Copies of this chain bind each other. A is one copy, B any other.
């Protein structure tokens, strides 16, 4: 496992390591969105990634970095969804066991996905304390290696490969916007830009209702994510030591956006681009929606982080009482 902040070489090696099992996802553009916003937008479609989210990159890189001896004992994590599915699938591909601690409140579609990948699931109450205690017990019993969803340099190097692919195709982006939860994707994105496209400014997009990363960077200390209130179920986590440090040193700014903008942006992507993205993905376009002038006439990349939505509960459908 990677013990230091990923270097350029680490990211290149991570990409080589996982290339044969990940999808190289397409970068889409939309004439109608470009003309609506008056800039050039490039959408990296990690909603088309395996398990429907970029998380498969980081989980694969972490798992494939293990020694054969550690691999045999399997991997474990606590996660509300996409990371759990990602780690389970990576484990399934390598034919090793995976142990997943999940809050009882996780979206049904994500539980089904994780079960489908053959993981052993342990449900617990949706508090960090409960999750960590349950995980510790599993590790003690199985000897499995914990793969944290983002406070792990191998995971961060894996997430960095999404933007490495962007920079392989586009060498003149002015901005690159990534959703911000625990900061794994944003950290990887910032490091990739530093190494592969120094002219590109990286921006974190965060829901106002879960703006702990924004406040943490502003104040220079990690604020906990207390009672986050947002539709973006993938962005509830708080920064870790590792992601805080990388983001602080390499990200231009974090921009927060309101729930209404997130839902509007999500619907625009569905209607104009005919692709399915989850709310956590739409937060990047919501930034453009709220701060249009900044991006007018510019070339901006946006990472569509995932597409796992409960199709029975779409945010724009008001349930009749």
Closest residue of chain B to A307, judged by CB? B274
For the side of the interface on A, what is the size category? Answer: 20 to 34
Q: Which of A170-178, A205-213, A228-236, A310-318 contacts B (4 or more CB under 8 A)?
A: A310-318
In the complex this chain forms, how many copies of it are found? 2
Q: Knowing A275-B274, A307-B274 touch, does A312 contact B320 (C-beta < 8 A)?
A: no
- Asked if B311 contacts A270 (CB within 8 A), the reply is yes
Q: State how many angstroms separate the Cβ of A89 from the closest Cβ of chain B.
A: 11
User: Among residues 276 to 300 in chain A, which have CB atoms less than 8 Å away from a CB atom of chain B?
Assistant: 276-277
CB nearest to A28 among chain B residues: B48
Q: A267's contact among B274, B311, B316, by CB below 8 Å, is which?
A: B311
Say whether A169 faces chain B, with CB atoms less than 8 Å apart: no
Q: Is A47's CB within 8 Å of the partner chain B?
A: yes
- Tell me if A140 is interfacial: C-beta within 8 Å of chain B: no
Within 8 A of B (CB), among A180-222: none
Expressed in whole angstroms, the Cα–Cα distance for A311 and B274 within the complex equals 11
Min C-beta distance of A18 to chain B, whole Å: 16
Given A271-B311, A274-B275, A274-B276, are A319 and B316 also a contact pair (CB < 8 Å)? no
Interface string of A29-53 (1 = CB under 8 A from B): 0010000000000000001101010
The 7 closest A-B pairs by CB, nearest first: A274-B307, A274-B276, A47-B274, A320-B320, A275-B275, A48-B274, A312-B317
Task: List B contacts of A274 (CB < 8 A).
Answer: 47-48, 52, 275-277, 307
A26 interface residue (CB < 8 Å to B): yes
The smallest beta-carbon distance between A113 and chain B, in angstroms, is 10
Contacts of A317 in B (CB 8 A): 311-312, 314, 317
Q: Which residue of B lies closest to A276 (CB)?
A: B274
Residue of B nearest to A52 (CB): B274
Contacts of A47 in B (CB 8 A): 274
What distance in Å separates the Cβ of A313 from its nearest Cβ neighbour in chain B? 9
